[in-house]
A and B are shown apart, each in its own frame.
Chain A
Amino acid sequence: MRFLILPVLAGALFSSPVFAETSQRDLEVIGRALGFMEGVDGSERTVAIVYDPASEAEAQALAGAMSGGLSAGRVTLNARLVPAADAGSLGGAHAAVLLGSASGDAGVFSAASSAGVMTVSTDMSCVESGNCVMGVQSAPSVRIVVNRGAADASSVSFAAAFAMMIEEI
């Protein structure tokens, strides 16, 4: 039996989605990009970190990076931890960084968009599938992708100069 279980466990392990972790550099890029969102006054931005149980440690690390306010260009980021299961409580946040399986969760996007929250992930498949407004990659070079449909659904818009310098899909 042991010989059967091991391959099954290994298969399960390797077939599970592997999510790239969001780094502090990613966070800084996200923060600077938030500075080009339209319709937001002031320099303080509340960033919800939406996580699944598997990415809780990553969420805690990001919240730690924003502890006391993380300065990123024009804005200062303040974190709010939100379990994916509580996505309905996203109201009041300016942006939601989706971690782990939350980045592919249509329910999370639906909750965020209905609250007018800009969703962002470092998992590019999220923005490509329309489950995020923005996809961000900070290395080896900065890449920012915005899904127009998702942005419209979330009532989110960006400065035109910014929109012309990023990829839109």
Chain B
Amino acid sequence: MKKQLITTSLAGLAAGLVWQAGASAQSLDYTAMSELFGEPVTAGATGAPQRASDVPATMVIITGDDIRRFPERDIPGILRHYAGMDVTRYGIGDGQVNIRGAATGYVPRLLVLVNGREVYLDSYGYTAWSTLPVQLDEIQQIEVVKGAQSALYGFNAVSGVVNIITRNPELGDYAIGRVDGGTDGYTDLSLVAAYGFGERASVRFSLGSTRADEFDGFPGNTDAAGFGDLEFSRDTLAVEGRFALTEKVNLLTEVTHSEVHQAESTSIALPAESEYEITSYRVGVEADTDLGFLTVTGFRNEVDVLYSFGLNTTSLTAFAVEDLFKVGTRNTVRLSVEYRDGESNSFPAPGNGDFGYETLAASAMWNRKFSDSMELTLAGRYDSVDWSRDGDPDPALYPFSQSDYDVSIEEFSYNAALVWRPEFGGAMRFSTGRGVLAPTMFDIGFALPVTVGGNSLVIAGNPDIEPAIVTNYEIAYDRALTPTLGLRAAVFRHETESDRGAFGPVPDLFPPAANVPVFLFDNRGDTATSGAELTLNGDPEGPWNWSANYTLQSVDDDLSPFGVNTVRDYEGATPSHLANARVGWTGERFRADVLVNYVSSMDMPMQPAFGAVTRVAIDDVVSASFRGEYIINEHLSVALNAQNANFGDGEETNPNTLTESRFWLSLRAGF
């Protein structure tokens, strides 16, 4: 449960593989390394393995032991307890996560990875967290890197990166089964296992199945009125194989599948019920050579989402080659090239031509240790994206022809960070980054005729839309105040230019500029967030430990008028104050945790039916949660979980649903 806030940038798909796919000595053995150095380790900040105290970004590392002590069912639930994490629970399965900014519906600003593979949805750049093919019991650690990280991770990593790392089956066999049962129809079955076949092959298996009643709809949100009658369902499967081809060459393969049915909030604050079916394939080869760690990786995500407005079928295929090496004793360099191919069906309306993009990117990272007290990290990345469409959208409805979609986007992103360990103690981190929020499938190619008030209109993606550019600046400081008390603090500013986003309730184009009125995906202005974070962790001798954190956020929007051409309102939807506290007690056979969260008031956009946009005042919310676990023996335990125990039948935390108290029992067997 110790929180580790740290400092710097990124590691991408290839980096993740380098340090996880390797056999024996070449793997980043998180457990062994953490025990050696007395602190968490990560490859998530720069792509190179580092101690948490050395990384050049503000970072949180949540270990598997931490995760086990939360009365939470999913990753967004866990993340809400950490500083700088904005989490809004729009449905039992739809927890949206942002870092230092509003957690709006379909947050498109966060890059989420599982073992280095992108799991955010390429269609709109958001993460449907319930679709992640990962069980909490198999997570080695969750790494959260705060701030724009495009130079190392690529597009979408503008508010930060969440990298979920599962336990490496090469490093030991295990089998964990868990059955949960609780109020409101909640059941959860989880089975995870790893097994090694001799010295050279190992397999990880993961299976999960969840059912639960959805929350009731928010009062007055007409399209969400029936949510309370829905059942949330989630089924996931993952199989991973790791093979040591030689002493220095390793092969990794993985297949995953997930199916989810849930209530959620869309990007335009419209309630929706969606079905997801996602299959992924991943392969990687890493080789320890005289030229450094060479890594070749590839993955393919195949995604079907049945939205309330149509079926979206997309695929993303990506390949990356990376080399990580040291130059002399003080320089670490990472070079990589990446190719991506994203494709979408004509969406949501068929017959307007499939569309997609190809991306070629090159990046470099250089870390220089000037002395024991001074370290510099620089990273840069260049992306070239080419969009195209297979056919003409219906010319009677849409204002763009096929050739209009032949657009190219070229962008440069960077990260720079200086780590300084002053003589008076602790570590200071000065960092800045330029991130790129590239247009998504929806932004470019969306095509849907709608009828409003008996009038024919269309909603159209916009091939002229520009990437949003996010620049962040940060100064952070952390130190051990005493051997049992740690402090982490940061001040930050994030600036977003040309925020790209969805349309508002008023069309952007009217005849004669278009044949029919058009709601257009477009850039909607600028926004900036300034703030500060403070975290204290106490781990005194004895059974007690505790943590507390506070986040201050101040947003300044310069956007298109709310309720006209946009439903964006970051000022209103971002709580000014977030505070979390936890007290834990650990005995020989019993351990308990009490957690309290505070989220200050918000004015959140709501669109109870298409075209009816308003704001809803959400008052301050305090939630209290509890988990008590009894260790029956070295293999068996039983736990009582009370999530948001004071919410009763419904607390107003967002305009989509009423968040309810949930209670459940967990029976866990581990071998």
Contacts and interface: CB of A to CB of B under 8 A. Distances in A.
Given A161-B19, A161-B26, A148 B37 contact: no
Interface string B557-577: 000000000000000000000
A160 B329 contact: no
A148 B51 CA distance: 20
A160 B288 contact: yes
B49 A73 contact: no
Contacts of A161: 19, 22, 25-29, 33, 49
Contacts of A164: 48-50, 326, 332
Contacts, number: 54
A103 B85 CA distance: 49
Interface residues of B, number: 30
A15 interface: no
B199 to A, nearest CB: 10
A168 B32 CA distance: 20
Interface in B27-57: 27-29, 32-33, 35-39, 41, 48-51, 53-54
A41 B50 CA distance: 26
Interface string A23-40: 000000100110110100
Majority-rule SS of A interface residues: mixed
Interface residues of A, number: 22
B329 to A, nearest CB: 4
B634 interface: no
A167 B372 contact: yes
B35 A165 contact: no
A73 B172 CA distance: 13
Contacts of B372: 167
A20 interface: no
A106 interface: no
A57 interface: no
Contact of B32 (A35, A140, A148): A35
A73 B35 contact: yes
Given A165-B49, A165-B50, A168-B329, A160 B26 contact: yes
A125 B304 CA distance: 62
B293 interface: yes
Interface string A132-169: 00000000111000001000000000011111110111
A159 B33 CA distance: 12
Nearest to B293: A160
A141 B326 contact: no
B49 A38 contact: no
A134 to B, nearest CB: 13
Contacts of A141: 38-39, 53
A3 to B, nearest CB: 42
Contacts of B49: 161, 164-165
Contacts of B36: 29, 32-33, 73, 142
Nearest to B32: A73
Nearest to A138: B38
Contacts of B54: 165
Contacts of A163: 326
Interface in A72-89: 73-74
Contacts of A33: 36
A148 B330 CA distance: 12
B477 to A, nearest CB: 17
Given A165-B49, A165-B51, A36 B329 contact: no
Given A73-B32, A160-B293, A165-B49, A142 B329 contact: no
Contacts of B35: 32, 73
Contacts of B39: 141
Contacts of B22: 161
Contact of A32 (B26, B32, B326, B329): B32
A146 B329 CA distance: 10
Nearest to B49: A161
A118 to B, nearest CB: 15
Contacts of B332: 164
Nearest to B25: A159
Contacts of A36: 25
A159 B332 CA distance: 15
Interface in A53-85: 73-74
A148 B326 CA distance: 13
Among A36, A142, A159, A163: residue with most chain B CB under 10 A = A159
Max count, chain A CB within 10 A of own CB: residue among B25, B41, B48? B25
Interface in A81-139: none
Nearest to B28: A161
B447 to A, nearest CB: 48
Nearest to A36: B25
B537 to A, nearest CB: 16
A135 B25 CA distance: 21
A13 B22 CA distance: 53
Contacts of B288: 160
Interface string B463-487: 0000000000000000000010000
Nearest to B36: A32
Contact of B25 (A38, A165, A169): A38
Contacts of B33: 161-162, 165
B32 A74 contact: yes
- Of the candidates B27, B28, B332, B372, the one having the most CB atoms from chain A within 10 angstroms of its own CB is B28
A148 B327 CA distance: 13
B50 to A, nearest CB: 6
A148 B38 contact: no
B504 to A, nearest CB: 49
Max chain B CB contacts within 10 Å: which of A73, A148, A164?
A164
A123 to B, nearest CB: 17
Contacts of A74: 32
A124 B329 CA distance: 17
Interface string B5-27: 00000000000000100100111
A35 B32 CA distance: 9
B115 to A, nearest CB: 16
Contacts of B37: 142, 165
Contacts of B48: 164
Given A29-B36, A164-B49, A148 B329 contact: yes
B38 A165 contact: no
Could you say which of B38, B41, B369 has the most chain A C-beta atoms within 10 Å of its C-beta? B38
Contacts of B329: 148, 168-169
B668 to A, nearest CB: 26
B158 to A, nearest CB: 27
B40 to A, nearest CB: 12
Contacts of B29: 161
16 contacts: A32-B35, A33-B36, A36-B25, A73-B36, A74-B32, A160-B288, A161-B19, A161-B22, A161-B27, A161-B49, A163-B326, A164-B48, A165-B37, A165-B51, A167-B369, A168-B330
- Which 8 A-B pairs give the minimum distances between C-beta atoms? A168-B329, A159-B25, A32-B36, A161-B49, A142-B37, A161-B28, A73-B32, A164-B49
Given A73-B32, A167-B369, 17 more contacts: A35-B32, A36-B25, A38-B25, A142-B37, A148-B329, A161-B28, A161-B29, A161-B49, A164-B48, A164-B332, A165-B37, A165-B49, A165-B50, A165-B54, A167-B372, A168-B329, A168-B330
Interface of B: 19, 22, 25-29, 32-33, 35-39, 41, 48-51, 53-54, 288, 293, 326, 329-330, 332, 369, 372, 483
